[in-house]
Homo-oligomer: A and B are copies of this chain.
Amino acid sequence: TPFILTVHILGVAAAILVLIWSISYRGGLNWNAVNKNLVFNIHPVLMVIGFIFVSSEAILVYKSVPGSKVYRKGVHLSLQAVALGLGIFGICAAFKYHNESKIDNLYSLHSWLGLGTIILFAIQWIAGFVTFWYPGAAANTRRSVLPWHVFLGIFIYVLAIASAQTGVLEKVTFLQTSKVFGHYDNEAYIANFTALAVLLLGVFTVLGAVI
């Protein structure tokens, strides 16, 4: 399907944009930095590339990867596990940054949406695993669960996209209200285009899944 190539391209575009933003404009990524902003920068990179990009590719595996049904299922569940792991790691980076900078945890709408997303994602993964892989449900149970797996999977994925939109908006608003850059400066466009690339990635991934 034509959406697969579009998803690959938009995923790479979102990845490049978030890297340019974090590395060229925000000073780079460093888990152990004294400058805690470099600890923070790990967060958007892992959420956009590790979580959303990988999960987008995982969703489309059944349409993009050749091979047997069981092989593609294995790739789908493995990639979703990678996305979950990198997503959790990315959230840990946000908490580490908050704790080491003495900033409150879990006060913002973004943090609530983000935490809700990753919890639902973990539940969805476990439910998918026990139903479709091991131990695996009876054939007719699988058949009736599958539409829910697809619907809820898309719903949680859309929630991840919305979380990323609020995250980018929040970071840009912090930086602009503290006069780090202006409303129409290059960095504002790089950051907002990162969010728009993630949004379009989401649109085409959902289109690819349902069509």
Stretch at the interface among A9-17, A129-137, A166-174: A166-174
**Given A165-B162, A173-B173, does the pair A184, B107 have CB atoms closer than 8 Å?**
yes
Contacts of A158 in B (CB 8 A): 158
Contacts of A155 in B (CB 8 A): 203
Copy number in this complex? Answer: 2
Chain A's interface: helix, strand, loop or mixed, by majority?
helix
Within 8 A of B (CB), among A164-205: 165-166, 168-170, 172-174, 177-178, 183-184, 188, 191-192, 195-196, 199, 203
Question: When each residue 90-121 of chain A gets 1 if its CB lies under 8 Å from chain B and 0 otherwise, what string results?
Answer: 00000000000000100111101100000000
Contacts of A172 in B (CB 8 A): 108-109
Within 8 A of B (CB), among A119-145: none
**Shortest distance in angstroms between A165's beta carbon and chain B's nearest beta carbon?**
6
**Size category, A interface:** 20 to 34
Closest to A162 in B: B162
**Shortest distance in angstroms between A204's beta carbon and chain B's nearest beta carbon?**
11
Assembled-state Cα–Cα distance A151/B170 (Å): 30
Assembled-state Cα–Cα distance A144/B109 (Å): 40
**Given A173-B170, A203-B155, does the pair A165, B109 have CB atoms closer than 8 Å?**
yes
**Shortest distance in angstroms between A18's beta carbon and chain B's nearest beta carbon?**
14
Q: Is A210 an interface residue (CB 8 A)?
A: yes
Name the residue in A109, A162, A173 with the highest tally of chain B Cβ atoms < 10 Å from its Cβ. A109
Assembled-state Cα–Cα distance A184/B111 (Å): 13
Interface residues, chain A, with chain B CB atoms under 8 Å away? 104, 107-110, 112-113, 151, 155, 158, 161-162, 165-166, 168-170, 172-174, 177-178, 183-184, 188, 191-192, 195-196, 199, 203, 210
Contact sample, A vs B, 15 pairs, CB 8 Å cutoff = A104-B184, A108-B172, A109-B165, A109-B168, A109-B192, A109-B195, A113-B165, A151-B210, A155-B203, A161-B162, A162-B162, A162-B165, A162-B199, A169-B170, A177-B178
